[in-house]
Amino acid sequence: MKKILFVASEAVPFIKTGGLADVVGSLPKCFDKRYYDVRIMIPKYLCIKQEWRDKLTYVDHFYMDYLGESRYVGILTYVLDGITYYFIDNESYFNGPKPYGDWLYDLEKFSFFCNAALSALPVIGFQPDVVHCHDWQTGLIPVYLKDRFRGGEFFRNMKSVITIHNLKFQGVWDVKTIQRLTGLSDYYFAPDKLEAYKDGNLLKGGIVFADAITTVSDTYAEEIKMPFYGEGLDGLMRARSNSLRGIVNGIDYQEFNPATDPLIAQNYDARTFRKEKIKNKRALQAELGLEQDDRKMMIGIVSRLTDQKGLDLIQCVMDDICSDNIQLVVLGTGEERYENMFRYYDWKYHGKVSANIYYSEAVSHKIYAACDAFLMPSLFEPCGLSQLMALRYGTVPIVRETGGLKDTVQPYNEFEGTGTGFSFANYNAHEMLGTIRYAEHIYYDKKREWNKIIDRAMAKDYSWNASALKYQELYDWLIGY
């Protein structure tokens, strides 16, 4: 039995701020349980809902020396869907209304967490073959495995993998502070280790010392070797390219299933969508106060409202988009200027544009089910989950060809009758507008072709099963099977 431990800062259903939590919570369920014992370790935040916190059972606790003080480390556990979760408890670090807040304090608490996670393993008697770390919050674990935890018998053969979900976030502060928080010697603060541009960088440490590196799509794995996408680490990504592989994320096909989804007005599947999908559009038009019109093409956006998501392109041509015969439904929160932009267009084109500046899981499902097309013009997108959900719900994605969007959405080709969506290559507002209008043309003038695009989209399999097989290969290669 091969033993794998996922260590991360969040995991569904306990705590979620982004796609990272979906990956950590969903992927372990898909491994072949006859050969892989996969467990998960996350912090026990006070902001985890009470109903979950009440279910956790106490395992043990110990005291650990950190920053010159003896600190309490509690270990709790819970088994969900056959997967064992461990929670590292320290109320002074993991209190607060959100998992992240103050950058400097986050660096301290996740340095503590990396120490505590490894120190807890002998206490719970779980000796993983591979520790699978996620993003900068766990970047110190590969470093510690080669440093202070290297001597003991228990840790000797442990391998580490780090998955980069978004290279933009790296855990950076001045060298003196990072050195104090990590307790690492001067040896580690050189440009070929944890130092980057005169600062200390936790993610860089993880990338340098991990036995293997993955990122969440093939294209993103290539892109981050280039300066534009490399966030200052492109040289390191090129140097470690032999250890780097892209494995595209999946989505939970139980949770995102239009045939059984309890959150949508009318269930449908690949056979019945031509008749039944439209009922979701009617329900959403009524709910959001949009003009009731079956024939109007409805475009959805479910997104964090930030620059990364290509919203400046939308801002540039918003009046052009709204002058077309479409409806636009937006859901999400983020930068104030984009929140206000969508509110303004909701006021200006009321009945045509609906800006929902909040986040709701239920409303997101309704949008995936109701819309005809889904717009995602990201500047960069390591993997992206929204386009996978859109494909699953037969909502045709319109995307920019970057990262995971390029890997998962095949552009429509009217001459060959292939493709599962529409895409454009350059980060250019009018190129995006042209692609949206091409999609409108197919939707209005070639309805049979449009429905065939949906047929192909709904036939795609982006469940976690395919990704899990690739991770299994990676673990086997690391362990030396």
List the pLDDT tens digit at each of the 481 positions of the chain. Answer: 999 999 999 999 999 988 899 899 999 999 999 999 999 999 999 999 999 999 999 999 999 999 999 999 999 999 999 999 999 999 999 998 999 989 999 999 999 999 999 999 999 999 999 999 999 999 999 999 999 999 888 999 999 999 999 999 999 999 999 999 999 999 999 999 999 999 999 999 999 999 999 999 999 999 999 999 999 999 999 999 999 999 999 998 988 999 999 999 999 999 999 999 999 999 999 999 999 999 999 999 999 999 999 999 999 999 999 999 999 999 999 999 999 999 999 999 999 999 999 989 999 999 999 999 999 999 999 999 999 999 999 999 999 999 999 999 999 999 999 999 999 999 999 999 999 999 999 999 999 999 999 999 999 999 999 899 999 999 999 998 7
**Cα separation of 379 and 309, whole Å?**
6
Q: Decide if 404 contacts 249 (C-beta within 8 A).
A: yes
Q: Is the peptide bond before 122 cis (omega within 30 degrees of 0)?
A: no
- Alpha-carbon distances, residue 118 vs 79, 91, 111, 174, 184 (angstroms): 20, 19, 11, 25, 15
Q: What is the DSSP letter of 334?
A: B
**Hey, how many other C-beta atoms are within 10 angstroms of the C-beta on 442?**
19
Residue 160 β-bridge partners: 131
Pairing of strands 396-400, 373-376: parallel
Residue 37 β-bridge partners: 3
